[in-house]
A and B are shown apart, each in its own frame.
Chain A
Amino acid sequence: MIKAEPRTILNFLNTYFDVVRDLFEYQQQDGIITKEVFDMICHKHGAQMKSRLREYRVVRSIGSDFEMRDVYFKLMEFLLFEFKPLLPETIEKYKGAIAELFMKIRKSEHSDRDILQERIKNLSGQVREFVDLVERNAFRLLAETRDLKSNIDRVQYREKVHKASFWIEYYILPLNRILDVNHSESVTSKLVEVCEYANRKRLDYSDETTRSEYEKLYTQLIQTNQDLLKQSKILTNELLPLLERIRTESLILTGFIEFLRNPYKVETPPLLKGTRTMVYAKDMYFKVREFFEQFQIEAPVIVENSEADFDRWIFDRTLFKEKLSASMPVNDFFGWCFKALKKDFDQIETDKFFAVTGLLFDEELQIDYSKKSERVSIETTTSILDVPKLKIEPAIKL
């Protein structure tokens, strides 16, 4: 018995939501809240926290440890939308409970009215719990499958194949069997049977209050069957193909990655080996022609004549060197270069002049610089060059 007012408990949950959430997370992860964890969580909120948690029946002792009571655990699951997928075996138990109640309802049709109504209400409660569990499971499975598809955690391909196979084998296929309306042993087919019975009884049962209970059950079952059909469609149309694709795709990628580890050590798919054409074969002529023709396709080459006036003069070093040797000693080297060019050309371009001045670097020449730092001016077509006056003589060979 809880002494506290319901609002007080809700206020407590509101104020200390973080504490309850921490307890929920530990319980969800480990299945139990150890004494150390419990002490650690409650420590900063003072000694009163532990007594409140017990008083409001949020936790109960299991030996020296604790566990969160089911009603709070389910509330937190619902609030945080963190459902753990249940094994379909757990959900299938409702089939037994529903079938049992349905059988008793049919048998006690003409016995005590109160117990009959109570059984109808209980049946309705079982159906509600069943649908709720199926919805939560389908939601969780969808989330898990999408996580696997997006692969944020970078799960290896092999692990992905394993996970996808695991979900299919242990969760989706069994759940699908529970929901398969065409399967005589499925929970859904049992619900359809109950629904048909309730439909008849809501119309022809003698007692009015019982008729009203059947009416409620019938309305609930109509909605339930629609909801279950929706869940079944999610499983068969979305989850199963998605997981199958993840499984197949990952399997293929696993194969490719394994192959790429050492592609020269694995036998690849055998194909027909290309046959070599012998020179005496009938089609040899055509094949050879085809081979050579591929080189005959030449792109047209367009040569455009340059409009610019292009002077093709090339400096003849030997000729100019002979001329220089014949004129030595030369008192003004640059002046000599200019005059030498002037004999051949009316206009002297700067690059022609520089080409001839290159003779200066000949090792067989000795260069004397004017002591008075005399300079001469050379005028080319584009520039006036101010150069030193250099005297050139043959170098004295040692």
Chain B
Amino acid sequence: MVYPAHHRQIVEELMSGKFLLNNEEHFNSLKENESFYTEFFKISFDLELIMKPEFSYLLSKDTQENFSRDVSIFIAILSYELDRDGRNFIESFDFNEFTFEEIDNYFLNSSFIDLIESNKTLRDNESRRTLLNGMARRNIIYKTFEDRFTFTQAYKVFVDFAKELALKRIKGEPETQNAE
């Protein structure tokens, strides 16, 4: 049997929880063989392959995952602070480069300080570095230098989540809650 090009890289990266981005060579191979990979991941590992125009990733049935929550809180606070600073946060996510120092300043002066201090992955500069390194490993951000990064299009997963939540709340629908 002949496997698609970059097969091993595609499987390894997706299985390690990485987002595959459309500017990467193996993304094209994944896109061209979408139906094969959808079936492959479903049958082999019972995982769902999500294909978006800009990125793709895998989902498991078990969604109890703290990393997603920490990133959601991080992006939510950053969006709020950028907006408060008069910046268009979507444009900033799309085009701007952020420095760790800038992020620290936003978080230190945030009105969500209680939430930040109670979260062990956000509470201080060092914890935020660890979270950002985790986000870089998963391709949610791209580190341009040791202390600088840009967001990849994968941030849209979290923005879409916020949009859906807002629509649910505006319509007055109860959303499903975690069993914590």
A263–B72 CB distance below 8 A:
yes
Interface 9-mer from A187-195, A269-277, A371-379, A382-390: A269-277
Contacts of B64 in A (CB 8 A): 273
Whether the pair B79, A271 counts as a contact (CB closer than 8 A) is no
Give A272 to B167 CA distance when docked, in angstroms. Answer: 25
A158, B85: Cα distance in complex, Å: 19
A166 to chain B, nearest CB (A): 14
A259 touches B79 (CB 8 A): no
Indicate if the CB atoms of B166 and A255 lie closer than 8 Å: yes
Contacts of B160 in A (CB 8 A): 269
Q: Is the interface of B mostly helix, strand, loop or mixed?
A: helix
* Cα distance, A13 to B79, chains bound together (Å): 52
The answer for the CA separation of A255 and B157 in the assembled complex, in Å, is 13
A255 near B161: Cβ-Cβ < 8 Å: yes
Chain B residue with the shortest CB-CB distance to A150 = B86
Among the listed stretches A80-88, A121-129, A215-223, A245-253, which one makes contact with chain B, having 4 or more residues with CB under 8 Å of it?
A: A245-253
- Interface size for B (C-beta < 8 A) is 49
Residue of A249, A266, A267 with most chain B CB atoms under a 10 A cut-off = A267
Residues of chain A with a CB closer than 8 A to B57's CB: 271-272
A265 CA to B73 CA in the complex, in Å? Answer: 12
- Which of A161, A253, A268, A272 gathers most chain B CB within 10 Å? A272
Instruction: Give bound CA distance, A252 to B178, whole Å.
Output: 21
Instruction: Say whether A266 contacts B165, CB under 8 Å.
Output: yes
Q: Is A100 among interface residues, defined by CB-CB distance under 8 A?
A: no
Are A255 and B67 in contact, CB atoms less than 8 angstroms apart?
no
A240 to B133, CA, bound (A): 39
| Contact residues of B between 142 and 180, Cβ < 8 Å to A | 157-167, 169-170, 175-178, 180
Which B residues are CB-close (under 8 A) to A264? Answer: 69, 178, 180
Q: Complex: how many Å from CA A386 to CA B101? A: 59
Contact flags (1/0) for B52-73 with A, using CB distance below 8 Å? Answer: 0000011110111101110111
Residues on A with beta carbons closer than 8 Å to the beta carbon of B178:
264-267
Is there an interface contact between B58 and A263, defined as CB atoms closer than 8 Å? no
8 contacts between A and B (CB under 8 A): A253-B83, A254-B166, A254-B170, A255-B169, A256-B75, A256-B162, A268-B161, A272-B47
Sort A-B residue pairs by CB-CB distance and give the 5 closest, nearest first. Answer: A255-B162, A255-B166, A270-B63, A256-B76, A254-B166
Residues on B lying within 8 angstroms of A by beta carbon are: 14-17, 47, 57-60, 62-65, 67-69, 71-73, 75-77, 79-80, 83, 88-90, 112, 115, 138, 157-167, 169-170, 175-178, 180
